[in-house]
Amino acid sequence: MSMQFILSHLNYWLFIILMMIGFYIVVARGNYIKKIVGLNVFQVSVFMFYISIGKVEGGTAPIFPVDMDIDPNVVYSNPLPHVLILTAIVVGIATTSLGLALIVRIREEFGTIEEDEILEIESKLQQEENSAEGPAMGGRA
């Protein structure tokens, strides 16, 4: 793997690093809000991936002149991935706000937003159910 290869694919490396950071936060952190933040980083890395693939070498902004007198020698960047990501950003915002709203409700009902404390409360509820209704095989098998 030459230096040339690494540099010419720089946007992909950055995308992968950012994506893995986000993914790691989602998996490793127990705080529900931090998980949402991780999810955001994860999603944003994909947005950046899309935006960077729209770039055409030497290309300018994809806007035709007003008089529509198009010079065939001018290279334009590809606007399509950008448009797609506009949609994905909206979806991302909706997901984040819904996630945060759920966290507010979880805090109201459980009094905490730490995953291990919630799991403890849930396993207590499970035990109460088990003693009342007979044992069940764990819900997370």
Partner 1 sequence: MANAAVLPALSIIDQLPLLTIVVPMVAGPLCVLFGNRHIAWLLAFLASLASFLFSAHMLLQVIDGDVLSYHLGGWAPPLGIEYRVDAANAFVLLLISGISTVILPYARQSVAHEIKKVSHTLFYCCYLLCFTGLLGVVVTGDAFNVFVFLEISSLSTYVLIAMGAERDRRALTSAYDYLILGTIGATFFVIGIGFLYIATGTLNMTDLAVRLADMDGNRTVQAGFAFIVVGMGLKAAIYPLHLWLPGAYTYAPSVVTVFLAATATKAAIYVLLRFMFSVFQPEFVFELHTLTWIIMPLAILAMFAASLIAAFQTDLKRLLAYSSVAQVGYMILGIGLATKISLSATIIHLFNHGITKAVLFMVVGAFVMRKGSSFTKNLNGLGKQMPLTCAAFVVGGLSLIGVPGTAGFISKWLLIDAALEVDLWWLALLIVMSSLLAVVYVWKTVEVLYMNEPDEGTIAKEVPMSMLIPMWVMAIACIYFGLNTDITLTSASVAADSLLRGGVQ
Contact residues for partner 1 (CB under 8 A)? Answer: 23, 26, 32, 35, 39, 42-43, 46, 49-50, 53, 81, 84, 87-88, 91, 94-95, 98-99, 102-103, 105-106, 109-110, 118, 122, 125, 129-130, 132-137, 139-141
Query: Contact 29/38 with Cβ under 8 angstroms?
Result: yes
Shortest reach from residue 88's CB to partner 1, in Å: 6
Smallest distance, partner 1 to C-beta of residue 34, A: 12
Question: 17 or 122, CB closer to partner 1?
Answer: 122
Look-up: residue for tokens 């999810």?
A: 39
- Which phi and psi (to 5°) does residue 125 adopt? -60, -40
In degrees and rounded to multiples of 5, residue 59 shows phi and psi of: -80, 150
- Residue whose CB is less far from partner 1, 12 or 60: 12
| Number of CB atoms found within 10 A of residue 125's CB | 10
Cα–Cα distance, 82 to 79 (Å, whole number): 5
Residue 17 vs 94, nearer CB to partner 1? 94
Give me the least distance between CB of 43 and partner 1, in Å please: 6
Q: Closest approach of Cβ 115 to partner 1, in Å?
A: 9
Of the pair 2, 87, the CB lying nearest partner 1 is at 87
- Residue 61 buriedness (CB in 10 A; 0-12 / 13-18 / 19+): exposed
In the complex, what is the shortest distance from the CB of residue 74 to partner 1, in angstroms, rounded to a whole number?
20
Count Cβ atoms below 10 Å from residue 42 Cβ, excluding itself.
19
Cα 74 to Cα 63: distance, rounded to the nearest angstrom: 11
